Structure 1
Amino acid sequence: MAFTRFGAGQLVSTGAPSLHRAPVAHAESQMAAAAFATTFGAALVILGEWCFGRI
């Protein structure tokens, strides 16, 4: 449950600034920061779903 919630929260907190062209992380390129955060957010959602499937 924690993996899924954290991953979904990361996807939302990355997506909202990206839609408004606001910086996702300071001192980093906007595209690299958004790609990095989106990749890990999606990976955590997938890991959470996998954990739910194992129960």
Structure 2
Amino acid sequence: MSTNDYVKFVTQQFVRYIDKPKEERKQQRRQRKEERDSFVQRWFGVIPFAVMMWYRKKKE
């Protein structure tokens, strides 16, 4: 991909984003944030997450 093609692509994506209503953009951001895995699971995987849940359950 040449530099010109890349600039054209980025410009198109930016214009699409700006053309959307503000509420729709906020809703999309909230939805992406909700779908994302938790910090521990994203960075360290399932095992530390399971240990953390086991520890919390044992503590109660």
Taking structure 1 as the reference length, the TM-score comes to 0.37
Q: Which has the larger radius of gyration?
A: 2
Q: Which has the higher helix share?
A: 2
**TM-score of the aligned structures, taking structure 2 as reference length:** 0.35
Larger relative contact order, structure 1 or 2 (CA cutoff 8 Å, min sep 6)? 1
